Chains A and B, each alone.
Chain A
């Protein structure tokens, strides 16, 4: 009964691969349907093969504009959240201060709160203050919810750092600023980069908080949401597929470079 034994031994692998297929199935559909030529306004049924949307990705009014707004917001939210989050992470790991518990829970709570609660409460604040909803309120909200994730990422890295390295730098007569710039920052950099990438991804793809606080500003997820009501252009699938391919290629290239460096060192 070797077949049964083989199945028994590899059951977990088969189940895992099935889950992976479930995770990837929608991406396959998105890609296939980026070559569709739908009849009517919605792109849910396969009609015939066409590369029309790929040749004209900005052919739908408002689509590329919303993409631009999303990229801008994601960029500034990343800058803001990374800066503020890194400062908090250093304070938490390197210093003793009062109210540490309160600070920790203030950082933990936004991650443990459903987005819709944060979105709704932030909207009540903006309404009460009479703030004009738009680019700036979205940016404020995005920095707020990205901040905690950056703190977590940077903290993990700084915590695993050997404090003796900085002492060594000081023993070699490096000033505090020099020590920070030449020793501390380079070592913490991977953590900061990880936090920044996470912030960018979270901000770029955020819908719920943006939906509440955007006013009439349309980000890319807002555009997709609107199109689900009015009719989904094929170009949405083109953009989705392109982002997927570019991201995977970037990761593969960076991994290849990393491997080559490792081999050089060895």
Chain B
């Protein structure tokens, strides 16, 4: 499962084979690992167990909670909040596809066509990160404002008629609709798509393009048969890096959406921080985690086999 890291780790480090292990040094790796791993066990793994236990508790804030193995909480959470779950998958999925479609040309441009502008474009892709993402998300409120230039253009081109027919917008509004939330999600996670795509495109030997050209492949064929398959590692890690955070996000749905665009993250946040219904919140969060782990595992496995072909 190392798709998210930049380079696949080699199976065995080169070091130990040549160096006979000294008795004294044998504990060194464990001492090196101890503090960090302990930190992750106590503050990452243990909380997952606490959360699992909270999800099967009953009680109230005043009287305290007890583990009663009430699995019905899961059923209640799913049947009560399945629209939000579906919305999360739908919005995050749309945003991921949009990120791929928009991000691929940009990554391609940086890798093959930018020439001496490469570094500058790279900086411009990363630089927005230095302005807090909440401030930048709020800027979309201005950009998509009712009666603003963007909405005006979309209206004149009759784009809004199509999108509202699809249920993505309402009337003359973009703000507070699913389209606004997906726009925000796409915008926020686009760099996470562009950077891995760029990394894998940049590794492609340009002579392969020349070879395809020499063998009378048209540019489209070269892209389909050479460039795209070789960029698959970037596509896989890019889609994971956009889909996972987008599926759990509640900031875009809250700032750019309305009560009709609430995603599962919004529900978890409200249940935990405002309603204080801890078992339901824990169950929802557990379901989200399990769903994403299953999807990610299946996806990696599938794309892994395609990769080998």
- In the assembly, what is the distance between CA of A107 and CA of B191, in Å? 22
The distance from the CB of B240 to the nearest CB of chain A, in whole angstroms, is 7
Given A97-B30, A224-B135, A255-B119, A23 contacting B40 (CB threshold 8 A): no
Q: Which of A96, A109, A116, A155 contacts B288 (CB 8 A)?
A: A116
Chain B residues contacting A207 (CB-CB under 8 Å) are: 133-134, 251
Q: Which segment of B42-50, B153-161, B162-170 sits at the interface? A: B42-50
Given A29-B143, A91-B32, A114-B244, A140 contacting B43 (CB threshold 8 A): yes
Contact: B46 with A26, CB < 8 Å?
no
Contact: A96 with B40, CB < 8 Å?
no
Within 8 A of A (CB), among B197-212: none
- Specify the main secondary structure of chain B where it touches its partner: helix
Q: Nearest CB to that of B188 among chain A residues?
A: A26
B225 at the interface (CB under 8 A from A): no
Contact: A125 with B32, CB < 8 Å?
no
- In the assembly, what is the distance between CA of A147 and CA of B32, in Å? 14
Contact: A30 with B131, CB < 8 Å?
yes
Contact: A236 with B142, CB < 8 Å?
no
Q: Which of A15, A93, A244 contacts B128 (CB 8 A)?
A: A244
Given A120-B51, A122-B43, A228-B134, A26 contacting B272 (CB threshold 8 A): no
Q: Which of A118, A152, A252 contacts B6 (CB 8 A)?
A: A152
- In the assembly, what is the distance between CA of A103 and CA of B33, in Å? 9
Contact: A114 with B288, CB < 8 Å?
yes
The distance from the CB of A110 to the nearest CB of chain B, in whole angstroms, is 6
The distance from the CB of A15 to the nearest CB of chain B, in whole angstroms, is 4
Within 8 A of A (CB), among B223-280: 240, 244-245, 247-251, 255, 265, 268-269, 272-273, 278
The distance from the CB of B257 to the nearest CB of chain A, in whole angstroms, is 13
- In the assembly, what is the distance between CA of A230 and CA of B108, in Å? 42
The distance from the CB of A119 to the nearest CB of chain B, in whole angstroms, is 8
Chain A residues contacting B301 (CB-CB under 8 Å) are: none
Contact: B143 with A25, CB < 8 Å?
yes
Contact: A116 with B36, CB < 8 Å?
no
A58 at the interface (CB under 8 A from B): no
Chain B residues contacting A112 (CB-CB under 8 Å) are: 1, 4, 240, 244, 292-293, 296
Contact: A159 with B10, CB < 8 Å?
yes
Chain B residues contacting A35 (CB-CB under 8 Å) are: none
Q: Which of A26, A108, A140, A143 contacts B136 (CB 8 A)?
A: A26
Q: Which of A12, A33, A125 contacts B43 (CB 8 A)?
A: A125
Chain A residues contacting B10 (CB-CB under 8 Å) are: 159
Q: Which of B142, B145, B273, B292 contacts A212 (CB 8 A)?
A: B273
Contact: A124 with B51, CB < 8 Å?
yes
- In the assembly, what is the distance between CA of A247 and CA of B129, in Å? 9
Q: Which segment of A48-56, A82-90, A181-189 sits at the interface? A: A82-90
B102 at the interface (CB under 8 A from A): yes
A19 at the interface (CB under 8 A from B): yes
Within 8 A of B (CB), among A228-262: 228, 232, 236-237, 239-241, 243-244, 246-248, 251-252, 255
The distance from the CB of A194 to the nearest CB of chain B, in whole angstroms, is 11
Contact: A114 with B131, CB < 8 Å?
no
- In the assembly, what is the distance between CA of A176 and CA of B50, in Å? 43
Interface 1/0 per residue, B51-84 and A, CB below 8 Å: 1001000000000000000000000000000000
Contact: A106 with B41, CB < 8 Å?
yes
Chain B residues contacting A7 (CB-CB under 8 Å) are: none
Interface 1/0 per residue, A1-26 and B, CB below 8 Å: 00000000000110111111011111
Within 8 A of B (CB), among A65-87: 84-85, 87
Contact: B134 with A107, CB < 8 Å?
no
Contact: B15 with A163, CB < 8 Å?
yes
Contact: B33 with A19, CB < 8 Å?
no
Given A113-B292, A116-B248, A128-B50, A205 contacting B9 (CB threshold 8 A): no
B5 at the interface (CB under 8 A from A): yes
A220 at the interface (CB under 8 A from B): yes
The distance from the CB of B22 to the nearest CB of chain A, in whole angstroms, is 11
Q: Nearest CB to that of A100 among chain B residues?
A: B29
Contact: B145 with A93, CB < 8 Å?
no
Contact: A232 with B138, CB < 8 Å?
yes
Q: Nearest CB to that of A107 among chain B residues?
A: B40
Chain A residues contacting B44 (CB-CB under 8 Å) are: 106, 109-110, 118, 122, 144
Interface 1/0 per residue, A122-161 and B, CB below 8 Å: 1111011000000000001101100110011001100100
The 5 A-B pairs at the shortest CB distance, nearest first, are namely A114-B248, A16-B109, A95-B29, A84-B36, A247-B130
21 contacts between A and B (CB under 8 A): A12-B109, A15-B105, A22-B187, A24-B128, A27-B128, A44-B145, A90-B32, A95-B32, A103-B33, A106-B40, A108-B2, A108-B5, A114-B245, A114-B247, A117-B288, A118-B47, A121-B48, A122-B44, A147-B36, A207-B134, A239-B135
Residue ranges of A at the interface with B (Cβ–Cβ < 8 Å): 12-13, 15-20, 22-27, 29-30, 33, 44-45, 84-85, 87-88, 90-97, 103-118, 120-125, 127-128, 140-141, 143-144, 147-148, 151-152, 155-156, 159, 163, 201, 205, 207-208, 211-212, 220-221, 224-225, 228, 232, 236-237, 239-241, 243-244, 246-248, 251-252, 255
